[in-house]
């Protein structure tokens, strides 16, 4: 019996978790544009425009600023597998789930990993990073700017200076902050920074913006190999070949360069989405956009605290766009999250690792970093908590948040 199932027709939920979020309507429209061949001059023109747009989003002059076809994790893996060879030392700044992810990917590259740990809910002291870098003299220092598992934002400026003093490359995962918090790549002195569309940029998951400094590009091209099927004068290769074909930045950079050397079939619809995400961000203006996300995040904090709830973590280093709220004693953690969805069509996030079952994570990003989305979420959360037996003061959360927006 043939099964075709039904046409997609789910409710339009308000996605107020740590990502993904609701996609900007302009981005959805861009994704519906008819495809072009990947070497069509009009399409390669769109590629060049996308590079120029993301240089502005990343606040960089880096020539090598482009897209990795895949989710934000694809961009992370491309950055690490293309810079780390077996036996290389890497220092990983770790205070949450995604610091541990960087460590795991580096271990899969057969690199020697040195962790500089901080407690969840805090950031890592740059002096501890410098002590490790001075001792290990690594090829690479890897860190997460905004770790949504803890909602903490690691200060990067000092780490960039440390890396330059000890001749290490600096990689930063800015998936959760790009487009919502400042990611000043050149000011950070960062060598590789990656992002994703599905959070503050207001797009779908599936494309990973990346920017690479000249000195990191020089290192990557030192391991450049051309596929045998593309080589015209015998196999071209330098150094130890990058372990992944798909995530080989040297080959991907050849495709994004004027050479247009074939690597893979470009994900055209995702490129259209990423291009439109950047256009939306830049039309609003970076500083205006950062301020909007900060205001929405402050309203979430004011609202949940007015309900008698506690915000998790070191507030001096909290991300502006994601807030972790400690679940009060006596309420069913999973049922609160479920009732937000079933009763109000609003999604908030659960938590990982040591925070599993302890905090809910509320994101205010992209099109959802606005008054109506925040107030609807707080009103729904208050109602659900009251239904579950928690004595939240009626209307206090919405009133406190509304004052922030006023």
Read off the tokens for 61.
Answer: 């002059």
Q: Are 120 and 208 in a shared domain?
A: yes
Q: Identify the band that residue 234 occupies on the pLDDT scale cut at 50, 70 and 90.
A: low
Q: Are 177 and 323 in a shared domain?
A: no
- Let me know if residue 177 belongs to a domain: yes
CB atoms within 10 A of CB 73: 18
Q: Are 257 and 293 in a shared domain?
A: no
Number of H helices, E strands in the chain: 14, 14
Q: Are 277 and 295 in a shared domain?
A: no
Please tell me whether the overall predicted TM-score, pTM, comes out greater than 0.85 for this model.
Answer: yes
- Let me know if residue 15 belongs to a domain: no
294: domain CATH number is 3.90.1150.10
Spell out where 24-88 has E strands.
64-69
- 317 burial (CB, 10 Å; 0-12 / 13-18 / 19+) is middle
* Interval 280-298: pLDDT, tens: 999 999 999 999 999 999 9
- Let me know if residue 159 belongs to a domain: yes
Q: What pLDDT sits at residue 239?
A: 84
- 232 burial (CB, 10 Å; 0-12 / 13-18 / 19+) is exposed
Q: Are 269 and 292 in a shared domain?
A: no
Domain with 141, as residue range(s), is 25-282
Pairwise CA distance, residues 89 & 114, whole Å: 8
- Let me know if residue 8 belongs to a domain: no
- Let me know if residue 379 belongs to a domain: yes
Q: Are 48 and 145 in a shared domain?
A: yes
Q: Identify the band that residue 276 occupies on the pLDDT scale cut at 50, 70 and 90.
A: very high
Q: Are 294 and 270 in a shared domain?
A: no
Q: Are 134 and 215 in a shared domain?
A: yes
Give how many domains the chain has, as a whole number: 2
- Let me know if residue 110 belongs to a domain: yes
- 283 burial (CB, 10 Å; 0-12 / 13-18 / 19+) is exposed
Q: Are 116 and 162 in a shared domain?
A: yes
In which residue are the tokens 């061949």 written? 37
Q: Identify the band that residue 233 occupies on the pLDDT scale cut at 50, 70 and 90.
A: low
Pairwise CA distance, residues 38 & 40, whole Å: 6
Nearest alpha carbon to residue 116 among 105, 135, 107: 135
Pairwise CA distance, residues 344 & 332, whole Å: 17
CB atoms within 10 A of CB 331: 14
Q: Are 256 and 327 in a shared domain?
A: no
Judge contact between 169 and 128, C-beta under 8 A: no
Q: Are 254 and 334 in a shared domain?
A: no
Q: Are 267 and 388 in a shared domain?
A: no
Whether residue 150 is predicted with pLDDT greater than 80 in this model: the reply is yes
Judge contact between 313 and 121, C-beta under 8 A: yes
- Let me know if residue 399 belongs to a domain: yes
- Let me know if residue 4 belongs to a domain: no
* Interval 375-401: pLDDT, tens: 999 999 999 999 999 998 999 999 999
Q: Which residues face 113 on adjacent strands?
A: 90
Pairwise CA distance, residues 240 & 174, whole Å: 28
Pairwise CA distance, residues 155 & 406, whole Å: 30
């Amino acid at each position: 019996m043939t099964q075709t199932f039904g046409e997609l027709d789910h409710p339009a939920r308000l996605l107020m978790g740590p990502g993904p979020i609701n996609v900007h309507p302009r981005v959805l429209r861009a994704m519906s544009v008819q495809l072009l061949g990947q070497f069509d001059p009009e399409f390669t023109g769109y590629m060049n425009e996308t590079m120029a747009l993301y240089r502005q989003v990343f606040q960089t002059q880096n020539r090598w600023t482009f897209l990795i076809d895949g989710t934000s994790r694809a961009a992370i893996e491309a950055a690490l597998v293309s810079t780390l060879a077996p036996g290389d030392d890497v220092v990983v700044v770790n205070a949450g789930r995604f610091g541990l992810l960087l460590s795991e990917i580096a271990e899969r590259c057969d690199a020697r990993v040195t962790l500089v740990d901080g407690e969840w809910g805090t950031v890592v002291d740059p002096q501890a990073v410098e002590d490790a870098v001075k001792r290990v003299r690594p090829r690479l220092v890897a860190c997460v700017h905004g770790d949504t598992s803890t909602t903490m934002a690691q200060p990067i400026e000092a780490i960039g200076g440390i890396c330059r003093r000890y001749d290490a490359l600096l990689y930063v995962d800015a998936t959760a902050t790009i487009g919502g918090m400042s990611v000043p790549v050149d000011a950070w002195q960062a060598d590789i920074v990656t992002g994703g569309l599905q959070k503050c940029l207001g797009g779908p998951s599936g494309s990973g913006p990346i920017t690479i400094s000249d000195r990191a590009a020089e290192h990557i091209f030192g391991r450049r190999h051309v596929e045998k099927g593309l080589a015209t004068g015998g196999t071209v290769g330098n150094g130890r070949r990058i372990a992944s074909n798909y995530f080989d930045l040297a080959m991907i950079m050849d495709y994004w360069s004027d050479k247009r050397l074939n690597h893979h079939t470009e994900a055209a619809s995702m490129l259209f989405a990423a291009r439109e995400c950047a256009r939306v961000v830049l039309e609003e203006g970076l500083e205006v956009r950062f301020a909007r996300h900060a205001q929405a995040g402050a309203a979430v904090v004011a609202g949940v605290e007015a309900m008698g709830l506690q915000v998790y973590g070191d507030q001096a280093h909290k991300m502006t766009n994601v807030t972790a709220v400690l679940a009060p004693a006596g309420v069913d953690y999973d049922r609160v999250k479920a009732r937000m969805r079933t009763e109000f069509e609003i999604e908030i996030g659960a938590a990982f690792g040591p925070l599993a079952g302890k905090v809910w994570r509320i994101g205010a990003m992209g099109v959802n970093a606005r008054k109506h989305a925040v107030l609807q979420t707080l009103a729904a959360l208050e109602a659900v908590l009251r239904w579950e037996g928690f004595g939240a003061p009626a209307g206090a959360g919405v009133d406190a948040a509304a004052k922030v927006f006023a």
